[in-house]
Amino acid sequence: MKALVYCAFGDSRYKKESLYSIKSFQQHRDATNNDCKIIVVTDDKEAYGSIAGLPTIIIEEVDARLLKEWSLDYTYYVRCKIKCLEYCFERYGCDLLFVDTDTIVLQDISYVFDDIIEGVFYMHSSCTPINKALDAIANTRFKDVNHLTLQRIHFYSYIREKNFIFNGKYPIDVDFVPHNSGIIGIAYKNRDILNTVLEVSDLIFQRFQYQCAEEFALSYVLQNVGEIRLLENMVFHYPEAKFTRYLVGSILDFYAEGDKEEACNVLLAQGIKNIKAMNLSLDDIPYFVRMLLAYSSEATKDLKLSSLEEVFTYLDKDSDYYKEHNSVKKFKVYYKLMKQLW
């Protein structure tokens, strides 16, 4: 069995985000292909009433006791990703592609299961290397850096000094490149490596309280045992831009409960007056959203408003990504369209 896996606990926003991601995946998959199931692990089965009866959908409801255990007594919710993978491996014995709720699938990604079955690992995208991250904020005042980045720099500084992740365990080089865990692809036959991932993640979190410990641990362990491939160009991950789901709703003409009424005001706050008139497609979403971040949030100037990746990769005119995707030209096109509609 092959399965796309979502993990949605707590705030209703996460359940709503997952519905848009599932909808975007279904837009691209072959309607006659029911080989890939979609498993949603959640604490609120009722939130998925609109899709629960579909033949490819499996809703797994877990209780508060299990969630408390997975999240270390509610102190580290992202740890639930790893526990969710373990849960699905044990319950279904399937090859898995975990997908964060705040994602939009831009192309058919079903083919990646052929690679996963062969032992290839998948993650979403490359993050800033350890050394580059430290150098990037060397001349930045602490008060201008967000809390997550401070945690990250504290952890990275320890690595640069010691060349180990923790107390002489798990040697690591300062040029190491972590990967974003908005996507995690692992074959059932490789399920046991999650024991090591969990050990490394727990060590990092308990010592440094780093909120991205799980994705750093995944990156470290997977790179040491095999090949990681990325799905950045096929799946858009939008942790910095939570208004994205409303854009997707307008394009797909699909809204989670309550979102249609909120969409107009949310998009107006981003300077978007008439989204339908722009005739955007899902393929436009990554560039359009980053244009909004660049022009409306001053994200390129203030690290408090964004991650290191948004500042130094997606919005940096000198980055390989920016040049490869011709971002400045696309930004100007979208900006002109928005101005015309006002």
* Together in a domain, 97 and 156: no
Same domain (yes/no): 73, 206: yes
Query: pTM for the complete prediction?
Result: 0.91
Tell whether 57 and 77 lie within a shared domain.
yes
Residue 251 is part of which domain span?
A: 241-337
User: What is the pLDDT, as a whole number, of residue 327?
Assistant: 67
Confidence bin at 142 (pLDDT 50/70/90): low
Considering the chain, what is the average pLDDT of its residues? Answer: 88
Residues 217 and 327 in one domain: no
Looking at residue 300, its pLDDT comes to: 43
CA separation for the pair 319, 8 (Å, rounded):
33
- pLDDT at position 299 is 41
In this prediction, residue 183 carries a pLDDT of 98
Task: Verify that 192 and 317 share a domain, yes or no.
Answer: no
pLDDT at 67: 94
Could you give the CA distance from residue 329 to residue 334 in angstroms, rounded to a whole number? 9
In a domain, 271, yes or no: yes
* The domain boundary residue, chosen from 171, 186, 203: 171
Helix, strand, coil in percent for the chain, rounding step 5: 50, 15, 35
User: Are residues 324 and 182 part of one domain?
Assistant: no
Query: Residue 24 falls within a domain, yes or no?
Result: yes
Indicate the range of 11-15, 19-23, 260-264 predicted with least confidence: 260-264
In the prediction, which pLDDT does 264 show?
87
Is residue 342 assigned to a domain? no
In a domain, residue 8? The reply is yes
Instruction: Determine the Cα angle at 113 with ends 92 and 106, to 5°.
Output: 115
The residues pairing with 95 across neighbouring beta strands, listed in sequence order, are 2
pLDDT: is 218 or 111 the higher one? 218
Question: pLDDT per residue over 100-134, tens digit each?
Answer: 999 999 999 988 999 999 999 999 999 999 998 88
Provide the CATH number for the domain around residue 27: 3.90.550.10
- The DSSP output letter for 11 is S
- Identify the band that residue 35 occupies on the pLDDT scale cut at 50, 70 and 90: confident
Same domain for 300 and 199?
no
Tell me: the pLDDT tens digits for 235-260?
Answer: 999 998 889 999 999 999 999 999 99
Q: At which of 186, 207, 235 does a domain end?
A: 235
Residue with the larger pLDDT of the pair 131 and 143: 131
Q: pLDDT for 286-333, tens place per residue?
A: 989 988 877 764 444 444 556 767 666 666 666 777 677 776 677 777
Check whether 226 has a pLDDT greater than 80.
yes
Query: Residues 182, 216: one domain?
Result: yes
Question: Which of the listed ranges 149-163, 216-230, 287-301 does the model predict with the highest average pLDDT?
Answer: 216-230
Residue 119 lies in a domain: yes
Domains in the chain, number: 3
Neighbours of 21 (CB within 10 A): 26
What span, in angstroms and rounded, lies between the C-alpha atoms of 256 and 21?
A: 11
- Note whether 64 and 43 are within 8 A (CB): yes
For 65-81, the pLDDT digits (tens) are 999 999 999 999 999 99
Q: Are residues 248 and 279 in the same domain?
A: yes
Look at residues 174, 338, 201 and name the one whose alpha carbon lies nearest to residue 271: 338
Task: Give yes or no: residues 153 and 52 share one domain.
Answer: no
